[in-house]
Copies of this chain bind each other. A is one copy, B any other.
Amino acid sequence: MADPMRIRAALAGDETTVRVLMSHVMEPGTRRDAAGALIPAHFIKDVEATHNGKVVLQSQFTGSVAQNPFLSFKFKGAAKGDKIVVKWVDTKGDTRSDEATVS
């Protein structure tokens, strides 16, 4: 299984800024190895963020997204102590879910 995501969720005023750093090779599937063979694609496709179980953001990545993807966004309606869960699924069907508490 991939390494955990690093997730920060910080409330300021009525907006919560979520910063997510994912750990993933993000191999685009278009690169070749030293022998000239294509390196198979292996990248995060779908990312979903929930706040207390309610979806606040969904995102689709392509093979162009950088290794160890970074994603940041803001949403409204959270309070300190609320739970933020981020989940991703990659092209091999691997998945990872991690959480953070709004602070």
User: Which residues of A are interface residues toward B (Cβ below 8 A)?
Assistant: 14-17, 26, 28, 51, 54-62, 64-67, 69-77
Contacts and interface: CB of A to CB of B under 8 A. Distances in A.
Chain copies in complex: 2
B62 A60 contact: no
A55 to B, nearest CB: 6
Given A59-B57, A60-B57, A65 B70 contact: no
A62 B57 contact: yes
A57 B75 CA distance: 19
A31 to B, nearest CB: 11
A73 B70 contact: yes
B70 A74 contact: yes
